[in-house]
Amino acid sequence: MYETILYEVSEGVAVVTLNRPDKFNAFTELMHKEIIAALKDAQKDDAVRCILLTGAGRAFNAGQDLGEVSGGEVDFGGFLRKRYNPMILQLQKTEKPIVAAVNGVAAGAGMSLALACDIRLASEKASFVNAFVSIGLVPDSGGCYFLPRIVGIGKALELAMTGEKVSAEEALRIGLVNKVYPAESFMEEALAYARKLAALPTRGIGLIKRTMYKGLEMGLEETLEYEAYAQEVAGSTADHKEGVAAFMEKRAPRFTGR
C-alpha cells in the first residue's frame, strides 16, 4: 500500500518504518505524503494506541533527499509549506503517543522529525546532526521550535550554528533523547517500550499531549483553565473509572483506551 514507508500494526503499536535505506531514508515528496497518511490511519484505528517511528537500515533519516533538489531553483518557502509543515503539524494533531526509535543518524529535517515526536529512544549507534548550517540553511520542520524547548536555547544555538554531530550518549546527557539501548536489542527494547505506552489510558495520554504542548504557548491562567477542561474530558473516560476501581480493589488496572 505504501512505497516509501512500511506500516504494521501489532499489539496496540503502529510501527512506521521510513524505508529508503540506500538514501539513508531521506525525504521525498511521496514519503511526506505517506507519513501523513500513515499518521491519519493510526489516529483513526482504535487498535492503535501508540505509534513507533523508525528507519530501515543504518540511518533514521538524513533530511531532504538532496538529489531531488540539486541543480535547480528551489522555492524553499513553498516547499516547506507544502511538504514538511503539514507532516510536523500532523504529528502534533495525532492524539496518541508518538515515539521515535532513532536507530542511526538523524540529520537535518530527519532530526527535526525526531524532535517533533513525543518521546525519543536511541540506539547506542544513533547520532544527531543539525545539518542545515552545513548547506547554508536554517533549521526547519519545527527545529527552531522543538530544539530550544528540549535542550535549552544555549545548546540549541550551538548545535544549529555548528552542525556538530551529537552521539547517543551525549544526546542522553543533554536531554535530547529519553533512553539509550544497546544496538543489538534496540528494536526489541523500543517495541517493548511502545507496547507499555499502548497499554496505558490512550485518551488520557492524548489529552496530556495536547495540554502539555498548549501549555508551552499559554500563560499560567490560561493553562490552568485548559487543564480544568482537559480533566473534565479525562475524568469522563472508562479508563479513569478503571484506574480508580483497580486502585481501590488493589489490583492491576486493565485499560482499554476508551
Site residues (vs ligand T3D, CB under 6 A)? 23-24, 26, 62-67, 69, 74, 76, 79, 105, 107-109, 129, 131-132, 135, 137, 140
Helices (H), the chain: 29-44, 66-69, 76-79, 85-93, 109-116, 143-151, 153-162, 168-173, 186-198, 202-217, 220-235, 238-248
The grid coordinates of residue 216 equal 508551552
Minimum distance from CB of 141 to ligand T3D (Å)?
A: 7
* Of residues 77 and 154, the one with the C-beta less far from ligand T3D: 77
Task: Of 157, 54, 153, 164, give the one whose Cα is nearest residue 110.
Answer: 54
Please work out, in degrees rounded to the nearest 5, the angle formed at the alpha carbon of residue 187 by the alpha carbons of 121 and 145: 25
* Of residues 127 and 237, the one with the C-beta less far from ligand T3D: 127
Minimum distance from CB of 83 to ligand T3D (Å)?
A: 8
Radius of gyration of the chain (CA): 19
* Of residues 132 and 181, the one with the C-beta less far from ligand T3D: 132
Minimum distance from CB of 169 to ligand T3D (Å)?
A: 17
Minimum distance from CB of 154 to ligand T3D (Å)?
A: 23
Minimum distance from CB of 160 to ligand T3D (Å)?
A: 12
The grid coordinates of residue 137 equal 540553511
Minimum distance from CB of 35 to ligand T3D (Å)?
A: 14
Name the strand (E) or helix (H) holding 167: strand 166-167
d(CA 91, CA 42): 11
d(CA 102, CA 111): 9
* Of residues 24 and 255, the one with the C-beta less far from ligand T3D: 24
* Of residues 140 and 239, the one with the C-beta less far from ligand T3D: 140
Contact 7, 1 (CB under 8 A): yes
* Of residues 131 and 198, the one with the C-beta less far from ligand T3D: 131
